Amino acid sequence: MSIHQSHIIPLAERIRPSTLDELIGQDHLTGPGSILRMAIDQKNIPSIILWGPPGVGKTTLAHIIAKNSEVPFYRLSAISSGVKDVREVIDKAAKESGAILFIDEIHRFNKGQQDALLNAVEKGIITLIGATTENPSFEVNPALLSRCQVYVLKPLEEKAMIRILENAVQKDEKLKEMNPQIKEVEALIRISGGDVRKILNLLELATDIAQKDQATGQPVITNEEVLKAAQSKVALYDKNGEQHYDIISAFIKSMRGTDPNAAVYWLARMIEGGEDVKLIARRMVIFASEDIGNANPNALLLANTCFDAVHKIGYPESRIILSQCAIYLATSVKSNAAYEAISKALDAVKSSGDLPVPLHIRNAPTGLMKDLDYGKNYQYAHAYKNNFTQQEYLPRHLEGSVFYIPQDNPKENEIRRFLKSLWKEKYGY
């Protein structure tokens, strides 16, 4: 490749690894003795889904697999391809002795498009390699997912990123000629957030504009030069780095603190930073139960509706739906009683072990079980006044244990009064 060509093709593409030994990072999948590496070496690749954040090697790994398998390789993008394109590839593959179909961003395929793959995958006409940044449990049809192995790729750690930078300077023709001195790596690593494509492209850009050492004429890469190249600030929102978690934390804590203004501000920071709107909606569903719970049961309904609507609408319109939901959750009465209840119950399970179910509330589908007193003296609640009878439901060792404590808000005060009217002093309500 000429130096002129290297100005056209991005650095990340110019030095893309072509073998597993060249691939840096993801050792849990591709290191010696790993399941995926053994399958690749044996040319016995099942259909797989590669799940991980952007720029961690999903496409590279797919190309390495294809090259090693020595079978026809087809690539489709779920953004621009439809059912017709899928069927055309399947028709070609059916005439060949096996083929690999790589679908980038497979989570963007709708149900019909994914269903078009099922028969071909099941019959072995194609070996499917799907790449996704989304949890395949949510985004890939169960029928298709059940026919694939899922491999999780991780954001690369600092040591791996530094190795990648050193490798680029040593192997790329353009960078070898310019020979940049990388004096500081913090900005490169922080801004890239484990994304190999991003760190390499940023390195190349910084090399092009960096000031040169007067003695050697080499570009000097510092944090300042990198930030200048990125036209960024230290506060840049990084979807994979530390600030990603800091801003999500600020968003959750603002809603918990009943501050709709701060909640909407941090929401805007995430949206402007390119955060996945479905991730934001998913966090609000969790928040609605963890921090509001039965103080306002409608919060969970609205948050779940928000999650569904965001799936259907997409960005940019979904920002309005997210804003409505965030404001509702922030201004709702709060209670973490449900969260505390399950935490206490789990602690009881761990500390008490596998306690037997009381005989009177066991199921008794057979005569033998009835002879053993399963279900004996069970009191059917609906047969009593107010559909209630004071009956023990906990194991003997935990009788009287209190896990759920209604908090001081209108709805849970009502729940407390109701429980006290039934259970009297048993649970201290």
Distances (CA, A) of 375 to 34, 118, 361, 372, 391: 51, 47, 5, 9, 13
List helix spans (H) across 126-195. Answer: 136-139, 142-145, 158-171, 173-178, 186-192
User: CA 297 from chain center: how many Å?
Assistant: 26
Mean pLDDT by 10 residues, the chain (429 residues): 56 90 90 88 90 90 89 86 88 87 88 86 92 86 90 89 93 90 89 86 89 87 85 48 73 94 92 84 95 96 95 84 96 95 92 89 85 90 92 92 93 93 88
Are 30 and 23 in contact by the 8 Å Cβ rule? The answer is: yes
Domain 26-152, architecture per CATH: 3-Layer(aba) Sandwich (3.40)
Predicted local confidence at residue 234, as pLDDT: 38
DSSP letters along 49-95, please? EEE--TTSSHHHHHHHHHHHHTS-EEEEETTT--HHHHHHHHHHHHT
Q: Identify any residues that bridge with 151 across adjacent strands, giving them in sequence order.
A: 50
Predicted local confidence at residue 387, as pLDDT: 93
pTM for the whole structure: 0.55
Residues 6+ apart with CB under 8 A from 84: none
Kindly report the CATH number that applies to the domain delimited by 158-230: 1.10.8.60
Predicted local confidence at residue 70, as pLDDT: 82
Predicted local confidence at residue 9, as pLDDT: 83
Are 47 and 127 in contact by the 8 Å Cβ rule? The answer is: yes
Give the full edge-to-edge strand order of the sheet including 149-152.
73-77, 100-104, 127-132, 48-51, 149-152
The class level of CATH for 242-331 reads mainly alpha
Predicted local confidence at residue 232, as pLDDT: 46
Predicted local confidence at residue 353, as pLDDT: 85
Q: Look up residue 53 and give its amino acid.
A: P
Predicted local confidence at residue 2, as pLDDT: 46
User: CA 335 from chain center: how many Å?
Assistant: 27
Enumerate the domain spans of the chain. Answer: 26-152, 158-230, 242-331, 356-423
Are 336 and 291 in contact by the 8 Å Cβ rule? The answer is: yes
Quickly name the fold that domain 356-423 has.
post-AAA+ oligomerization domain-like (1.10.3710)
